[in-house]
Copies of this chain bind each other. A is one copy, B any other.
Amino acid sequence: MRRILRVVVDEREKSSEVPRLLSSMGLLVEYRVLPVGDYVVSPRCAVERKAARDFLQSIYVGRLFDQARRLSEAYDVPVMVVEGPLYELIDEMENPRSAWGALAAVTIGFGVRLVMTGSQKQTADLVYALALREHRGERRGPYVHHPRARELWEQQIRSASTLPGVGPKLADRLLRRFGSLRKLFTASVAEVAMVEGVGRARAEQIAKFLDAPYSPEGVGEAQKKLSISLLDEGRKD
């Protein structure tokens, strides 16, 4: 049996259909007065819902950037949903480019993830998808995208995960087995291969990686630029 998905909704959103749709989908909807955001989907992810017209208006009042800032300050994964006929409204504008510029500023400048939807139903579907995703802790993307590791053990896992074929799960097992990063990094192929989830092939791959000589110039790609700029020219032997 799987746990109920929970989402915290701002009181003011009661006037929209979205919360009702969410609870009809099986989500547990809980109302609060939220200082920022409209739908809190997980401790790190909140959604701000804005009607297309309101979105465009708030560009000129400067309110948009304020909200984007507050949202990204409060949550690691800030999402802004623009709901409604945005395209038509932008086409009616005198200078549509400023609207696209604002869009770019919000998503690139503040790191807010934008999604446009066509209706409240679609907004609800999106929020549901977000809740599902956040709840599962689903990692579709590469693990390097992990936000930030604060605790020591998280940093250790992150470090061990840089080994080829080693993700967070395996890193945990390896660290449990060896006790510290140093011991892991100095372990022999046979010792590493003994850990569950690591076979001979993977163990050898890891050893090969650790022992690989460092040659940034390598096979002469355009990457040379980096290594050249990194070279220190102040050798005075």
Contacts and interface: CB of A to CB of B under 8 A. Distances in A.
Interface of A: 8, 32, 34-35, 40, 43, 45, 65, 68-69, 72-73, 77, 79, 86-88, 90-91, 96-97, 100-101, 103-105, 107-111, 113-119, 122, 125-126, 128-130, 132-133, 138-142, 144-145, 150-156, 158-159, 162-164, 169, 172-173, 175-176, 178-182, 185-186, 196, 209-216, 218, 221-223, 227, 230-234, 236
B133 A108 contact: yes
Copies of this chain, whole number: 2
Nearest to A46: B234
Contacts of A236: 32, 34-35
A223 B151 contact: yes
A43 B213 CA distance: 29
A181 B129 contact: no
A132 B34 CA distance: 35
Contact of A142 (B69, B213, B233): B69
A88 B216 CA distance: 50
Given A122-B100, A169-B230, A179-B214, A140 B185 contact: no
Given A110-B142, A152-B212, 6 more contacts: A32-B236, A86-B116, A107-B114, A158-B162, A181-B212, A182-B210
22 contacts: A35-B236, A43-B233, A77-B108, A87-B118, A96-B122, A96-B125, A97-B128, A105-B133, A105-B140, A109-B138, A109-B139, A109-B141, A111-B141, A144-B158, A151-B218, A152-B212, A153-B227, A155-B209, A158-B162, A172-B230, A175-B216, A185-B185
A210 B179 CA distance: 10
A84 B212 CA distance: 49
Contacts of A68: 141
B113 A218 contact: no
Contacts of A179: 213-214
Nearest to A87: B118
